[in-house]
Amino acid sequence: MIRYAQSDDAFAYGFEDEVWWSRTAQPALHSWCSDQPFRLVEKQRAKDDPDGPAIACYGCYLPSDNQMLLRFVDGRPVSAVTCAFLTWLAAHFTAKGKRALFLIWDNATWHNSKIVRTWLKEHNRLAKQQGSCRLIICRLPSKSPWLNPIEPKWLHGKRAIAEPVRTLPMDELIQRICDYYHCQPLHPIAK
């Protein structure tokens, strides 16, 4: 399937996943200091902090371009938000002149929900009629995150943007994430 997508410019393929970016939790890191051991400690949010403790993010990794497409989410990943992300993704690839996107993702409950399956079926029917980008879903086996190349991208990103001294405001956290992945910060997808 990947070879097929690579053989024609009208097709693309990508790996999709969701992740939470925490403002307080620190990723597992190893570091060395000359004076004393250095540890990243989970930070506490101030009581008057207007930002939430974390933000959810949808991502699509495109190995052919070594590019990440990101959309942040107000709330948590659910079926309706997944459909909104897929709508945005289809529009993005339609604008690039692609006829189909082979989207490889895991078996999250919202990926297999009736709402998402129905949306995909309807979208692909309309896309075929209108000549826009169809979404062809390829599911990874259950409980096998090591098969999804986007997973290490998330881990490296979390390590790269870690702030050992202070709690980042949400805007700065989003900007650091977008800077690391070389993408534009877009408005979050609403519930």
Number of domains the chain contains: 1
Q: What is the DSSP letter of 144?
A: -
Residue 48: inside a domain, yes or no? Answer: no
Q: What is the dihedral of CA 52, 152, 78, 132, to 10 degrees?
A: 120
Q: What is the distance between the alpha carbons of residues 112 and 18, in angstroms, rounded to a whole number?
A: 14
CA nearest to 161, candidates 171, 175, 182 = 175
Full residue range of the structural domain in which residue 115 is found: 2-43+56-181
Between 39 and 72, the more confident residue is 72
- For residues 145 and 180, the answer to whether their CB atoms sit within 8 Å is no
Q: Which amino acid is at 159?
A: R
pLDDT at 14 exceeding the cut of 70: yes
Work out the pLDDT band at 8, boundaries 50, 70, 90.
low
Residue corresponding to tokens 């006829």: 99
pLDDT for residue 82: 95
Q: Provide the CA 89 distance to its chain's centre, in angstroms.
A: 11
Tell me if 30 is assigned to some domain: yes
Q: Is residue 191 part of a domain?
A: no
- Residues 121-170 have pLDDT tens digits of 999 999 999 999 999 999 999 888 889 999 999 999 998 998 877 888 89
In a domain, 189, yes or no: no
Going across the sheet that includes 100-105, the strands are: 67-73, 54-62, 11-22, 100-105, 134-139
Least confident of 55-64, 85-94, 154-163: 154-163
Q: Say whether pLDDT at 88 is over 60.
A: yes
Rounded to whole angstroms, the Cα distance separating 171 from 55 reads: 11
64 within domain boundaries: yes
- Residue 140 sits in a domain whose CATH number is 3.30.420.10
User: Please, which pLDDT band fits residue 44 given cuts at 50, 70 and 90?
Assistant: low
Length reported for the chain: 191
Q: Where are the alpha helices (DSSP H) in the chain?
A: 2-7, 79-95, 114-130, 150-161, 170-181
Residue 107 lies in a domain: yes
Over residues 92-125, the pLDDT tens digits come to: 999 999 999 999 999 888 888 999 999 999 999 9
Are residues 135 and 94 in contact, defined by beta-carbon separation less than 8 angstroms? no
* pTM for this prediction: 0.86
| Residue 186 lies inside a defined structural domain of this protein | no
